Chain A
Amino acid sequence: MRIGMPFALSSYTYYPLWKIFLEILGQEVIPSELTNKSILDLGVKSCVDDACLPIKIFHGHVLFLDGKADTILIPQIMSVQKKEYSCPLICGLPEMVRYSIALKTPVLELKINLYKGGEDIAHNMETFGLQFTNNKKLLKHAFQFAYEAYVKQQKALQKGFAPEWMGQNLPQNGSFFGTLGVLGHPYVLYDPFLSGHIIRYFAQTGFDMLTPERIDEDTASRYAKTLPKKMFWSAGRHLYGSAMHMAAKKVDGILYISSFGCGVDSIIADLCERIVRKSSKIPFLLLVLDEHTGEAGIKTRIEAFCDMILWRQKNGRDVSPHGQYIHCAQGIL
C-alpha cells in the first residue's frame, strides 16, 4: 500500500519513526513536498480561518497528497508523556481534516496516547501496525529499528545539525560572535518556508543557534519545574524549560518564533518574555508569523536584532536611549 505522509506538524519530529516503521512492514511511504506557496494556499482555502498557520499548512499537505497515495496517514497525538497533553488542535487533527476537506483518499489514523502512563509509544505503534501484519516479532523489530532512527535524528539535532531536509551545511565551525537562543515549535523552526529559511540564515550570520532540540529533555523538565503549576502541554513544558535554561546559560539573545493563533505560545511566549526580562538583561524578541509574512520582513527584524546584540557587545552600556526599559512588564506601556 502506498501511504501518503503529510510533511507537517508532528512529522518534523517523528518522520523517521513512522517512515521506517511502515517501510519495514512492507508499505511504501510517500512524503509530501516541503511546504511551498501552493501548499500553503491549498491549506488556507480549505481550513477553518481561526486555526493557526501550521494547522492550515497541514491541511495543504493533505490536499497535496489526495489522489497521489492509497491512504493518508494522519496522526492523532493526544499525549506523548504521562499526565501531559498535546495542544487541542493537534488532538483533534484527524476530525478537523476529515470534516474540512472532502477527501478522495481514505485516512489512516495513528493513535498515540500516553496520558495514563503505563503504556509506552512502542505499544501504541505496535497496535497501529496490527492492521498491516499479525507477525508480533516483525512489529517489535520494526519498532526497534524505527526508534533507533528517531533517536539518531534527535541526537543529530541535539548536536546542532540541521535536519536532513534543510541541507547539510550545519553546524558552522569556527568562532561565533555569540550564542542566540531560538525558541519555537519544531514545525515552525524547521519548516524552511514558514520560518523564512531561518536556520540557513543563522548559519550565515555567525551566531551559534541554540534551539530547544539542542537542550535535552531532563534539563528542560528540571527548569520547567520552577513553574508554580505543572505545565500540561509537553511542547509548552519543553519550550519554557529551554527558555529558562538559555537564560541561566546567559545566551546573548533570545528569539521566540511563534505562529499567529498559536494557543500554547500565547501563554508560554508571554511567560518566557516576562520571566527572562525580570530575571536577566538578555534581549528578547518575539516574532509572530502568519500567511502574510514576507521573508524579507523576517530577515530585516532578525538582522536588526543581531546587529543590536553586536553593538551591545562592542560598546553598548545597556542604557536605553529612552531612559527606561520599554516593556509592559515594567508598567510603562
Chain B
Amino acid sequence: MVVTFPHMGNIYIALKAFFDELGIRSVTPPFCSNKTLELGTRISPESICLPLKLNLGNYLESLQCGADTFIITGSCGPCRFGYYGVSEKEILNDNGYPVDVVMLDPVSGMGLLYKRLRKITGQKSILKVIPALKKALNIACLADMLEKKIFYIRPREVNTGSADKAYGRFKKEVYRTHGIKNMLGLIAHTCDELGTIPLDQTAKPMKIGILGEIFTIIEPYTNLNIEQKLGRMGFEVHRSLNASTWITDKIFYRSLGFYKNPEVYSAAKPYLDRCIGGHTWECIGHAVLYAQQGFAGAVEVLPFGCMPEIVSKSILPQVCIDHKMPILTLVVDELTGETGFDTRLEAFCDLLSYRRRKINS
C-alpha cells in the first residue's frame, strides 16, 4: 500500500512527516500546476468546484509515482466538500483506476473512523500513532507560522524576493526530508534563515486581509500566489484562515462545543448569525474584524460556484459600506488568466494607496 493525499496549502509538510515517521510508504504529489489542473478537469464533472478538479489532478500525478490509496478528509455538509470522497472514488474507478479512497470523516461514526485510520496505519501500535499525530499537528502549526513570518518580511525586505528564495528552497527540501525530527529541524533552519534577511525598519506597509474559501486562500496555485503579489507591491498580508487553525478548531474545539475564536462569530452577528456551511460565517466575521483593526482593505477569493461563499459575496458589500473598508472579490477557476487577475489586483492596490494619501492629507 502506497498512500497519497491531495495538496491543500501546507498540509503536505505535516502529512509527509507523519507517514515517514510511522514508516508508511507515501507519495507527496508534485505541487499543483497547470498540468495538474488540466488532468483533473478532464475527468471532473462540468460544474463542480475547483478544489475537486485539483484533487483529482493530484491523484493522477501521484498514481504515476506509484500510489494506490488516497486519503481525503470530509465534513458532513452542507458544503460540497463533504461529498468529495464518494464522488472522487466513482470518477477514478470509472476512468479505469481501481484505487481505494479512504474517507477520514466522523460522519459515519467514530468506530468507522478508527477502523479506517487503522487501515492506513496497519499493525502499528496506537501508542505510536497518537503521539505522531500530535507532532504532525505541531508541524502544521509551525509551517503556518513560517508563512506568517514571510508575510511580515515581504513588504519590508531590502532585497525584494529574498524571503521567497528562502521559502522556495524550503519547499524543495521538504520533499527530501524524512521523519518528524528532521522536518522540525528544517523548519527551524528556515526560520533562522528568514531571521537574517535585512529589513527596512522605516517601512510602514498597509495591511490587507485575505478572506474567502479556505482551499483557495491557502493553496498558492489556485489564488495565483496572491500573497506574494501583494507582498511585493508593499502590502502586509493577513490570512483569515489557516490549515492548522482549521484542524485544531474542527477537532478539538468543535467536538467540545466551543469555538476557537469566538470574537469572529460575535463580529459577524449583525450580518449572519449561524453557520450555513463552508466558512461564510468566519469570512464575514474576519471582514468586520479587519475593518476594526484598521486594515487598508481585504480581498475575498473564492472558486467559481462555491455555494457558501456566494452568500458571503452578497453580504460583503454591506460590510464594506458599514465599515468603510474596500473589499475586492476575485473568483477563480480553470479559466482564470493571470494578467486579468493582476490588473484588478493592481488597480485595487492603487486605490488603497490613493485612499491612504487622501486620509493622511
Contacts and interface: CB of A to CB of B under 8 A. Distances in A.
Interface of A: 47-48, 50-51, 78, 83-89, 91-92, 95-96, 99-100, 227-233, 260-263, 265-267, 269-271, 274-275, 278, 288, 328-331
B87 A88 contact: no
Contacts of B318: 99
11 contacts: A50-B304, A91-B277, A95-B271, A96-B315, A99-B315, A99-B317, A229-B86, A233-B77, A267-B45, A270-B90, A331-B96
A247 to B, nearest CB: 15
B283 to A, nearest CB: 12
A330 B48 CA distance: 20
Nearest to B273: A95
Nearest to A262: B47
Given A95-B311, A263-B307, A266-B48, A78 B274 contact: yes
Nearest to B74: A229
Given A99-B271, A229-B74, A331 B86 contact: no
Contacts of B308: 88, 92
Contacts of A232: 76-78, 82-83, 107
Contacts of A92: 272, 276, 280, 308, 311
Given A92-B272, A99-B314, A50 B280 contact: no
Contacts of B278: 88
Which of A88, A232, A331 counts the most chain B CB atoms within 10 A? A88
A233 B79 CA distance: 9
B86 A227 contact: yes
A260 B46 CA distance: 10
B298 to A, nearest CB: 16
A250 to B, nearest CB: 22
Contacts of A48: 310, 313-314
Given A87-B78, A229-B74, A229-B103, A267 B313 contact: no
B305 interface: yes
Contacts of A84: 77
A229 B74 CA distance: 10
Nearest to B277: A88
Nearest to A93: B311
Interface string B49-92: 10000000000000000000000001011111011011101110
Instruction: Kindly name the residue among A89, A231, A265, A278 whose own CB sees the greatest number of chain B CB atoms within 10 A.
Output: A89
Given A88-B280, A266-B48, A278-B94, A95 B314 contact: yes
A50 B48 contact: no
A14 B145 CA distance: 50
Contacts of B108: 229-230
Contact of B47 (A83, A95, A99, A266): A266
Contacts of B117: none
Contacts of A262: 47
A269 B83 CA distance: 13
B187 interface: no
Given A88-B310, A99-B314, A232-B78, 15 more contacts: A47-B314, A50-B313, A50-B331, A85-B77, A85-B78, A89-B307, A89-B310, A99-B315, A262-B47, A265-B47, A267-B83, A270-B45, A270-B48, A270-B87, A331-B95
A84 B277 CA distance: 12
A328 B83 contact: no
A46 to B, nearest CB: 10
A88 B79 contact: yes
A48 B85 CA distance: 29
Given A85-B277, A89-B310, A331 B47 contact: no
Interface in B119-176: none
Contacts of B107: 229-230, 232
Contact of A95 (B77, B105, B315): B315
Contacts of B89: 228
Contacts of A86: 78
A171 to B, nearest CB: 33
B43 interface: yes
With most chain B CB atoms within 10 A of its CB, the pick from A48, A85, A92, A227 is A92
Contacts of B276: 78, 88, 91-92
A278 B91 CA distance: 12
B207 to A, nearest CB: 25
Nearest to B321: A99
B97 to A, nearest CB: 10
Contacts of A228: 86, 89, 103
A263 B77 contact: no
B305 A266 contact: yes
Contacts of A263: 49, 80, 305, 307
A330 B306 CA distance: 28
Contact of B272 (A51, A87, A95, A227): A95
Given A88-B276, A262-B47, A331-B95, A96 B77 contact: no
Contacts of B105: 229
Contacts of A328: 43, 94-95
Nearest to A59: B314
A331 B103 contact: no
B78 A261 contact: no
A112 B108 CA distance: 25
A318 B79 CA distance: 39
Interface centre among B49, B276, B305 (most CB of A within 10 A): B276
Contacts of B78: 85-88, 91, 232-233
A275 B74 CA distance: 22
